[in-house]
Amino acid sequence: MILAKVNPMNWLLFRTGLLIAGLATAFNLGRLSIEFNGTGSVWAVLISGVVTLICSLIGLAAGELVRAQPKKD
């Protein structure tokens, strides 16, 4: 059985995408705080924005923790 060589993931690109997603979400949440009127759709955007921001921050923190560990042979 021949196993195909798997290309490693570009973690720098992935972490950069998470950073951009976090910054864009934080910006949109700031704009939403000014225009908040309490309708159901605005609440949905608020909750999804907070979840997106938390997930992107957890992803960035996990990426930094993995990067800081010494590589095992």
pLDDT digits (tens, 9 = 90+) for 12-25: 888 899 999 999 99
DSSP per position, 4-24: PPPPPP-HHHHHHHHHHHHHH
pLDDT band at 11 (very low <50, low <70, confident <90, very high): confident
For all residues of the chain together, what is the average pLDDT?
A: 85
- For residue 43, what pLDDT is reported? 92
Beta-carbon neighbour count of residue 25 at 10 Å? 20
Which residue would you say has higher pLDDT here, 63 or 60? 60
Q: What is the pTM of this model?
A: 0.75
- For residue 20, what pLDDT is reported? 95
